[in-house]
Amino acid sequence: MSADTYATHTPGPWFVTSQDDYPTGEVSVDPMGVRNVVTTYGDDAKANARLIAAAPELAAALVDCVRTLRAVRTTQQTKLHDRTINAALQALTKAEVFA
């Protein structure tokens, strides 16, 4: 099950639809750029757009990591796994995506 099952955001995939001759970074839910999710500005606009466009997939991957770590925990690795799981859950909670 993907993170999108639990999320309240616009489901992915998202696409970077910026035009090379514009100084903005645009992220849309369709490759043609009809349904814009966000527009970024500034020197790092296109890099920020790429990171934002990857957010649904990153959230889904992080949910899968949390589930895997929970499944393979052993007594010896509990502290490391718990620290990693807690960090991942904090990030998912901040994004309102739940594992």
Q: Residue ranges per domain, the chain?
A: 3-94
Using CB atoms within 10 A of its CB, is residue 96 exposed (0-12), middle (13-18) or buried (19+)? exposed
Question: Which residue has better confidence, 2 or 46?
Answer: 46
Q: Where are the beta strands (DSSP E) in 8-70?
A: 15-16, 25-28, 36-40
What is the rounded distance in angstroms from the CA atom of residue 28 to the CA atom of residue 12? 9
Which pLDDT value is given to residue 4?
A: 44
Q: Is the pTM of this model over 0.75?
A: no
